[in-house]
């Protein structure tokens, strides 16, 4: 393995041959925004948030799949890139129904976090308000297509980490959809091992564990009654 010397955002760094720009930048403490990237599975360069400028190349290239080369000059944070990143996020928010306030992932959502960090304050494009269903047929997990950004992390994890091959993509364009087996309900899936890796990999609230949704957060008032009864009536029965 030969070492490569390159410049990222004016900072001279070294990287091992075969490393990606994203890996090299992370090592050097330079943060490049990502969304479809997930440590541990292969990269696909789909979300376009990690696009960087490379001197001498007219096209913008994704840092997650671009390999380091000797003498490369990379810019990760130009005004143009910041603008494109904000627009990409706006497009995502307008594409499906991302309503943070009632989302299971509120506060733990990578899409939400990115929108904050990239300065996306509002969406200038028309919301399309598509009608997507929620698959609640699985014993343990749920899939809300309204929150899906089609990053395919769940698909990659399911095929390449768990090896089950349950999750896949069907359809094309904006009508693309994450499916289970041969487009069956998740609860009917024979290949799903219930490992839950897809839920762990999901950057938004599209995949969730049952019981974690806002609608399912019920209060257990009986506990209060129990303690009041115990204090006032000296009754310890539940």
Partner 1 sequence: MILNDLIAVKEKELASQKKIVLRCCMAAGCISSDSKGVKEQLEIAVTEAGMQDEVEVRGVGCMKLCCEGPLVAVDPKNELYVKVTAENAPSIIASLKGGKANVEQTDPDAAFFKKQLSIVLANSGIVNPERIESYIAADGYLALHEVLNEMSPKEVVEAMTKSGLRGRGGAGFPTGLKWGTVAKSPGAKKYVICNADEGDPGAFMDRSVLESDPHSVLEGMAIAAYAVGADQGYLYVRAEYPLAIARLHLAIKQAKSLGLLGAGIFDSPFNFNVEIRIGAGAFVCGEETALMMSVEGKRGTPRPRPPFPAESGLFGCPTLLNNVETFANVPAIYRNGAEWFAGIGTEKSKGTKVFALAGKIKNTGLIEVPMGTPLRTIVEEMGGGAPDGGKIKAVQTGGPSGGCIPSQHLDTPVDYESLGKLGSIMGSGGMIVMDEGTRMVDVARFFMEFCMDESCGKCIPCRAGTVQMHNILDKILKRKATGRDLAKLEELCDMVRNTSLCGLGQTAPNPTMSTLRFFRNEYEELLQPDTFGAGATHSQPVTK
CB atoms within 10 A of CB 143: 28
- By CB under 8 A, tell whether 224 contacts partner 1: no
Asked if residues 180 and 148 have their Cβ atoms less than 8 Å apart, the reply is no
**The one among 128, 133, 209, 235 contacting partner 1 by CB under 8 A:** 128
Spatial distance between the Cα atoms of 167 and 191, rounded to a whole number of angstroms: 9
Structure-block tokens of residue 99: 């309503």
- By CB under 8 A, tell whether 67 contacts partner 1: yes
- By CB under 8 A, tell whether 73 contacts partner 1: no
- By CB under 8 A, tell whether 163 contacts partner 1: no
Q: According to DSSP H, which parts of 6-62 are helical? A: 21-27
Q: According to DSSP H, which parts of 107-190 are helical? A: 110-117, 153-157
Q: How many residues bind partner 1 (CB under 8 A)?
A: 46
- By CB under 8 A, tell whether 94 contacts partner 1: yes
**The one among 121, 190, 218, 232 contacting partner 1 by CB under 8 A:** 121
Which of 217, 207, 214 has the alpha carbon at shortest distance from 135?
207
Asked if residues 24 and 11 have their Cβ atoms less than 8 Å apart, the reply is no
**The one among 7, 23, 26, 46 contacting partner 1 by CB under 8 A:** 46
- By CB under 8 A, tell whether 6 contacts partner 1: no
CB of residue 106 vs partner 1: minimum separation in angstroms?
18
- By CB under 8 A, tell whether 100 contacts partner 1: no
Nearer to partner 1, 124 or 221 (CB): 124
- Binding segment for partner 1 (CB under 8 A), chosen from 75-83, 158-166, 191-199, 205-213, is 75-83
- By CB under 8 A, tell whether 91 contacts partner 1: yes
Helix (H, G, I), strand (E, B) or coil at 6: strand
Count how many residues are written for the chain. Answer: 238
- By CB under 8 A, tell whether 82 contacts partner 1: yes
Asked if residues 157 and 165 have their Cβ atoms less than 8 Å apart, the reply is no
Strands 134-135 and 167-170, sheet pairing: unpaired
Which of 176, 167, 170 has the alpha carbon at shortest distance from 198?
167
CB of residue 184 vs partner 1: minimum separation in angstroms?
18
CB of residue 9 vs partner 1: minimum separation in angstroms?
11
Point out which residues bind partner 1 (CB under 8 A).
31, 44-48, 51, 59-62, 65-67, 77, 82-84, 86-88, 91-92, 94-95, 116-122, 124-126, 128, 149-150, 168-169, 171-176
């Amino acid at each position: 393995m030969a070492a490569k010397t390159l410049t990222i955002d004016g900072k001279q760094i070294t990287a091992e041959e075969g490393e990606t720009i994203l890996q090299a930048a992370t090592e050097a403490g330079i943060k490049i925004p990502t969304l479809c990237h997930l440590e541990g599975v292969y990269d696909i360069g789909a979300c376009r948030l990690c696009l960087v400028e490379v001197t001498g190349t007219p096209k913008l290239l994704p840092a997650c799949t671009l390999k380091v080369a000797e003498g490369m000059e990379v810019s990760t944070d130009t005004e143009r890139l910041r603008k494109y990143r904000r627009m990409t996020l706006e497009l995502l928010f307008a594409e499906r129904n991302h309503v943070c306030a009632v989302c299971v992932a509120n506060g733990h959502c990578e899409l939400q976090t990115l929108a904050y960090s990239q300065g996306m304050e509002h969406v200038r494009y028309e919301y399309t308000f598509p009608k997507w269903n929620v698959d609640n047929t699985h014993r343990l997990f749920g899939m809300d297509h309204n929150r899906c950004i089609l990053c395919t992390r769940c698909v990659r994890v399911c095929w390449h980490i768990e090896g089950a091959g349950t999750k896949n993509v069907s359809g094309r364009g904006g009508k693309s959809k994450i499916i289970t087996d041969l487009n069956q309900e998740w609860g009917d899936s024979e290949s799903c091992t219930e490992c839950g890796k897809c839920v762990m990999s999901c950057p938004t609230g599209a995949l969730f564990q049952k019981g974690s949704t806002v609608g399912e957060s019920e209060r257990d008032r009986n506990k209060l009654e129990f303690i009041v009864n115990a204090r006032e009536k000296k009754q310890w029965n539940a």
